[in-house]
Amino acid sequence: MQKVTDNVYVESEISVCNTSVVVTKEGVVVIDTPMVPANAKKVAADIAKFGPVRYVINSEPHTDHIAGNCYFGGLVVTHDGTRNALLKAKPEDITGMLQMMAPDSLPLDKEFRFRPSDITFSERLALYLGDHSFHLIHMPGHTPYSLAVYVPEERIVFTSDNINLGMPVFRDALPDKWLETLTQLEELDVDKVVPGHGEVTDKSCFSQMSKNVRGWIDAVADAIDKGMNLEEAIEEVPKAEMFADMPKEGPAAGFLRMNIERIYRYLKK
Ligand SMILES: [Zn+2]
């Protein structure tokens, strides 16, 4: 695990999303859990050396952030909407992805289950542990139920996939709320930013991400203004300059189409 501040460590290599740990005097808080069972067990064992797990926070309802919960102790804390997703999720929901990423992990072991939240909230929740405070703030955008975890004592925020320095994923996104969330993130007094995936960064990522999300929305809005239907938009929008470097085939091209479709339907509503 990479040490990020005095008491924060982040695992980005074997967890599909970033799994983070904040070490306090009274135990540790884990943010997001690895999807591959063997990796979740390994990370749980690594974390044990910092102390007992008191809370596990899931920053969003997507399976790559929640599936490893059952391998960790402590109480699971999420947005209300993420608890609903955990209750509905079935092991079959991850077997397809595991087949591609980690076929050795199938069949899933008997311990595996989608472990639901013990504590939920809708707008804000503060947890206090040792000398640390954890401010969980509902920040819809990448999903309707995404949250940020702000830990002022470490001058750090964990943003979920609202920050993703690769391609933003709009599958369940609320595009206009995403822009509001990025403005809200700008106001936090932090030095370090831990995105949902990829390298730990700093505040400069907020304006960069806003520009990116805004670019996607504007490109689709432009197609709508020109009177294009969804099929035409899916055909034409990728020709915009901002998408010039994106592959036109393979999984990335699939995400590109999915994003355009989601934004198109959202803006049309
Ligand atoms: Zn996600």
Please tell me the distance between residue 108's alpha carbon and the centre of ligand 1 in angstroms.
22
Please tell me the distance between residue 56's alpha carbon and the centre of ligand 1 in angstroms.
17
**β-pair type (2-5, 8-11):** antiparallel
- Per-residue pLDDT at 72: 97
Please tell me the distance between residue 128's alpha carbon and the centre of ligand 1 in angstroms.
27
Please tell me the distance between residue 73's alpha carbon and the centre of ligand 1 in angstroms.
23
Please tell me the distance between residue 114's alpha carbon and the centre of ligand 1 in angstroms.
16
Please tell me the distance between residue 142's alpha carbon and the centre of ligand 1 in angstroms.
7
Burial (Cβ within 10 Å: 0-12, 13-18, ≥19) of residue 261: middle
Could you give all domains of the chain from N- to C-terminal order, each with its CATH number?
Answer: 2-209 (3.60.15.10)
User: Of the candidates 239, 246, 244, which has an alpha carbon nearest to the alpha carbon of residue 223?
Assistant: 239
Give pLDDT tens digits for 117-127.
999 999 999 99
pLDDT at 79 exceeding the cut of 90: yes
- What mean pLDDT, rounded, does the chain reach? 95
- Per-residue pLDDT at 16: 83
Please tell me the distance between residue 133's alpha carbon and the centre of ligand 1 in angstroms.
25
State both tokens at 160. 């979920």
Please tell me the distance between residue 226's alpha carbon and the centre of ligand 1 in angstroms.
31
Please tell me the distance between residue 151's alpha carbon and the centre of ligand 1 in angstroms.
21
Please tell me the distance between residue 223's alpha carbon and the centre of ligand 1 in angstroms.
26
Which phi and psi (to 5°) does residue 77 adopt? -120, 125
Label residue 245 by pLDDT band (50, 70, 90).
Answer: confident
Please tell me the distance between residue 171's alpha carbon and the centre of ligand 1 in angstroms.
8
Please tell me the distance between residue 62's alpha carbon and the centre of ligand 1 in angstroms.
5
The least confident of 12-21, 119-128, 214-223 is: 12-21
Strand partners, 148: 137
Give pLDDT tens digits for 42-65.
999 999 999 999 999 999 999 999
Report how far residue 22's alpha carbon sits from residue 84's, in angstroms, rounded to the nearest whole number.
26
Please tell me the distance between residue 215's alpha carbon and the centre of ligand 1 in angstroms.
19
pLDDT at 15 exceeding the cut of 80: no
Please tell me the distance between residue 170's alpha carbon and the centre of ligand 1 in angstroms.
9
Report how far residue 107's alpha carbon sits from residue 103's, in angstroms, rounded to the nearest whole number.
9
- Per-residue pLDDT at 221: 97
